[in-house]
Structure 1
Amino acid sequence: MTAQHDFAALALQGWLASLREQLPLAAQGEALRRALLSAPGVRQAGYLAWQASSGIYAQQDGGPALPPGQGDPLQASDLALHQLLAEQPCLSLQQVRQLPCWLAGRLRRAALSQGWVLALSWQADGAGLLLVECAEELESAWLAWLQPLLKQLASLAGGQPASSPLLVNDPQPALLLDAGGRPLACNPALLRLLGERPFADYAQLLPVNHAALRRACLQQQRAIDAVEAQDGERSLVWCFIPEPAEGRVLARCREASEELRSAREAAQARRLYRLITENTTDLISRHTPDGRFLDASPASWTLLGYWPEQLRGSSVRRLLHRQDRRLLRLAAQALEQDGYHTMTMRLRHRQGHYLWFETASRAIRETYTGAVVEVVSVSRDITLRVQAEENRRRLAEVVEANTDLVLFIDAAGQLSYLNPAARRALGLAPGAVLPALCELLAPAVLQQLHGSGRQLAERDGVWSSEGQLRAASGASLPVSLVLLAHRAAGGERYYSLIARDMTERELREAQQRRHQDELAHTARLVSLGELASGIAHEINQPLAAVVNYASASQRYLQSLGDNPQAAERVAQGLARITEQANHASEVIRRLRAFLRKGQRRMQALQPAELIHEAVLLCQWQAGNSQISIIEQAEGALGCVYADRVLLEQVLLNLLRNAIDANREHCAGQPSQIVISARVEQGSLCMRVEDQGPGVPAEALEHLFTPFYTSKAEGLGLGLSMSRSIIEGFGGSLEARPGVSAGLCLECRLPLVRQDHEQ
């Protein structure tokens, strides 16, 4: 209760001060209202002055305004209340609400029913009343005692000297405190700062350490300034001024919300600028107009190898590349004229190498004359960018000069660029509109490129294939295609399609095939010469049979009249002659087919039939050496796509090598050669296994080398040519040790798909 009494006493002092200073009646009424609000139990208070001219009580304070009364305002009158207060100075609000007066209606509309109305006037030329809304427990005797006290205080205030006008008229809120921190007086500016809050909340305006500040102010007898305090969203700056003689402290404040906010923003901006300057990777520097360093950011050490202290006072010219020093004069002219200039230059690192920098400079001018007094520059290391641009330029030159066709394709599958070689090959003029990709590639190749081609290029970086490019004239150009996937700086995907003209390669391959066919034909002739005795036997045997059957038929014709069976014997002889002649014709047909010369005829072939044909060609040679050839075909073999004669030549070559190996190793003893065919892992596997001496492991890899042979009269071209023929069909020919000694030659060929076979 002591603190509340102190606040009430200070509030009454504020009211008395307003009386002494003879402030306007409204200011006096506001001071009195605040004084009453400091009392316990008082909810609302106000002072109303009597208006003799209008006959009503008018509100004279800064509190909440009472609503107008009921009825016609022109007929408003509080005369009944004025007369009753002259007789009875203290009335309850319930009594007033029952009176036929204007204030009664205002009380009813404001819902004020618990409280008192006291007749109170401290001015000689007027009367008034004090309106107090209070708690129910507040006794009427206390209010009856308050009325004469206020009157007595008002009369005493008239005889007291006025307080200091510096306090009353100070536009800044001020508060007078004693040595113990109790408030002694305040000015109206402080009351306005409090607003609707009671005076008891004055401590909320002071700094949190105001007690320590007050004691220090009195002990040291000096003012303490610029102490910040926070009042909600507002920022206040207090100044404590001591009065040592009186033992008091005058506390003055000013609202500095905007000022402090601006100061905090400026400090934050300075900290941010310092943080950016000290941590940025760019070089921020200040220069004199003639190009000498005034200062530089710490990035100078990272970029140039110099600390800022080492650069101060030195000239930029000594760091510039000699070819770039002319830029200083151009920069000075641009800064003088425009105030801003950007240039690209080379600066020497402390270690001696040069780096590329992009420098943006801005001129700082003198306020009145406009002369350039300082230059601020921001330099960025663009060495990597310059090198990348140089690499791109060189790459562009390579693409432009490349003899291969280079086509750039965007993510949507549209052509975006053709190099000069591509334009020439496709018959497009330099300024012609680029055609659609579908006009250049066959639908199957285009579908493959947009499907698996892009996926493989994205995953593995490259995709390759072969196809045809259609020129503007309608001609087709055989090309080898390579698709590369790229990503632009913005993340967009694009592709480069490199097409190499394969016309010359196809011509060379065709010529090589012709040479290979000629060599194969020569080899067949050689083989035929080596097999001549066997071939002669195969032809002479049916011819001898024909002669015998013809002689026997002639004899039967001579005895046709005596022998009844002669005619039947003649018919049988003619049938046998026809059979042997057909056998000789089949041998000649087989030889003619084997010796065929001309272009390759690729067709689907039955492996078992080819194996049998090859065995027949060398059967007699094997039989003379007591060598038996065993044919083994396991299951359905399918078909292979190859040239019949060349594949038969390969099989014959393998069989003859096996016959020579057996003859050499077995020395006239019976032996055998096994030629087998089976399907393994989707391919046709044909093996020729002999019972010869075999080949050492270190010599296996040399078997297919041209001119490598173990025969005294051999040329070493048979196996080499055989491998080339098989690889031309998409297969392989390998040698490995046999299961029971000897040598195994294994030929693998891809099988024809069922749809292809049909």
Structure 2
Amino acid sequence: MTKPNLSHWPTFPTVSHYAMAVLSVAVAIIAAEIMTRLLNTEPIALSMLCAVIFAAWFGGFSPALLAIALAVLAFHYYLLPPINSFTWKHNLLAGGVSEVSRLILFSITSLFIAFMVSAQKEATEALRRSSGDLQAAVEDQKRIEAALLQSEMHLTEAQRLSRTGSFGWNVSSGEIFWSDETFRIFQSDHATKPTVELIVQRTHPEDRAAVQQTIDQASIDGKDFDHEYRLLMPDGSVKHVHAVARAARDASGGVEFRGAVTDVTFAKETERKLRRSEAYLAESERLSRTGSWAWDVRRREFVFRSPEAHRLLGLDPERDAAPAQPLWDCVHREDRDRVIEMVRQALREKTDFEGDYRIVLPDGSTRYVHAVGHPVLSDDGEVTELVGTHVDVTEQHLAKVALQEAVDEIKKSEDRLRLVIDTIPTLVWRAGPEGIPDFLNQPALDYTGISLDQATTAWPRAFHPDDRKGMLRKWSAIRDSGIRGELEARLRRFDGEYRWFLFQAEPLRDQSGNIAKWYGSSTDIEDRKRAEEELRRSEAKLTEAQRVSQTGSFGWNVSSGERFGSKEFFRILGYEDSRSVTFDMVLQRVHPEDRAFVEQTIDRASRDGKDAQYEHRLLMPDGSVKHVNVVAHAARDQAGQLEFIGAMVDVTSTRRAEEKLHNTQAELAHVARVTALGELTASIAHEVNQPLAAVVANADACLRWLDRETPDLVAARRSAEWVIDDASRASEVVRRVRALANKTDIEKVPLDLNNVIREVIALVQRELSSHRVSLRMELEPTLPKILGDRVQLQQVIINLVMNGIEAMQPVTDRPRELVVRSGRDETDQVLLSVTDGGVGISAENANRLFNAFFTTKASGLGMGLSICRSIVEAHGGRLSVSGNEGPGATFQFVLPLHQEDAL
């Protein structure tokens, strides 16, 4: 913001100004008396007018009024008999009617001239003040350029952090633009010109044909494209990139693509690790014979079963789909009622359940499973799903049966019992009612490396130090409950290695119901634990990747209405606790102006079952606005139901950078307009002085017509009309200058382009004369009207004319002629061209002439033609340049017709 210059404030007349007015009239009287006696002329009117002009110019309008009053008195005194003399006259009222009319006309003319001269002085002061404002505007422009540079640095840093580079591709010219991040992704030097051949060459050989086909198809169809491929780097490494582009039409109607390329190598590696984790989990389930499942309570069918769960039921996971019938149809009839009641109790009490039962396979064989289930509650507190695991415990059950049989045999033979227990491939132990072990089978002794006589005191030391306290607490809880239980802990092997084991304990009661012994087994679950830990790490990495990229994932099952979102998804929406967030609460975050559009897009996607991608705004609780980009992919689940998997990306910083760039461009357009005005200051002063000089001449002629012995009133009236016309012309010049310097928004009205051209030529006439350039205008007389902003179009034409004048400055061997033409082009649009005979434009510079900050002038900023193109395109037209057959170049632009004229 510029500071006001106090030296430019308007000043008021002082006593010296009034004294100067009196002195100017006195000097005029003396001059008139001398000229009358020496030259025998009648210079009284002209000398008095000169005194009025002098007083108006140096003192202002108020001193001029005093000078007019004194001049009228002097003029009256001069006309009294004897006339044409300032000798002493006795009768001051001896004048006739003709003298009165002359005095009135002289007064009117003097008032008008005083007004015009003071107005001209004020205009001159205004121009001087605008010069100071221009310097302040230049300083503002420098600050704007610095802000624009900082904005570009922020955008470059954002691209670097998100590993996303931007690009542009003009299909017609083959020109390709890359951002710095795009060069980094392709590991190319900035000096290397991007080409389609370079992209194909850098592509991995296995993906090269697909990439070439995508490029060819896009250049033919002119449609958007979105694909992923690999890059083979010079060092032999491989990158995965995701390229997306949107097609648009340039000013000449050609197809150009603007898009982004993202380095998704990290995401691909994460996905690969996740698949590997899933494979590890599947393998651990297979090794531990554990299958996972999910049961939909409302539909009363399985919505998920792992491959191991299929195999547990005797099905092929690759060939057979998950059966929709309830689980208890596979349960042995003797166990069915107990299983149904166990599940119903879990649904009623909304608690976990656990139990063992038998299932009958399709081939008629029987398996024993250990089931653990957990209820999943909806927002309203109702159970929607049961998730859990099935563990094939057939071998354990058979071992337990064998153990039970062995126990029975122990009653008959202790030796036979020990033989049976020691041959079971499971760690078996026994403890007294107080929980202290008094027996370990031989596999348990061999694994831990302790002897049977050390079992009582050494068994706690066999557990991992970190698990010992928790294990003792859980074992105490099982003993207090008096029912079957289990726990997990790490057990030390004889060589010092620790592995995870599942410890299961079963009480043996005597005839009185008291616990006589505790019998148990220990199962190695180390592989399962490692798989679970790997899965947790994969999920943590995925969550961190979403946080860094400000991308939240979500899912929506259209049929069931089930929805889920990642932590980053709810963070973008401004919700920290995602458990209580409903779909209506998500919609409430959408900006009120975008809510209808979002709802329509969601409804259309759910009806059509197609992918969706759109952007909208979020209105946060603190009043701030976020811009998000939503991408959703439609798919079918195993049941054939439609579901959407997608992502929401926070693109607020990108949108703010675009808005800031647009505002900066508007400010630069105003600075360029004021700069052009400053360059035309001399021409404008000439345009103002010319009608003012005509005013003086015509007023003098008017007085001469009236000074005749028989005043010619018709000629005097005509001269007075000319005075009025010239004054109006001067006022119009000042009005156009103020309009051109005024900073206002675009205001489109119906315009005659020929009139706009003539107004511009009037402003640059002095520049044409000072540079010895002749102007030839070939304007079509019946040109239809256009819809545009007069001031902005004047700015474009002034820029083109001034460029033509400057282009012909070095020319000395031929005439300097500038041709301005108007007409219609082949598409019946209004066309304006400016042709010069200058040095011309090279083919290399012609392609970059309209780029911002590119200039061929030593002192140019490189913004004039860029702003002109923005103005023309904002009016729906296009600006272009071409070389002449001879010397020089031609700039031209076309604009659409006003709709009423186009009909």
TM-score bracket relative to the smaller structure: 0.3 to 0.5
Identify the structure with the greater helix proportion.
2
**TM-score with structure 2 setting the length:** 0.37
Question: Higher relative contact order at CA 8 Å, sep ≥6: structure 1 or structure 2?
Answer: 2
Larger of the two Rg values belongs to structure: 1
**TM-score with structure 1 setting the length:** 0.43
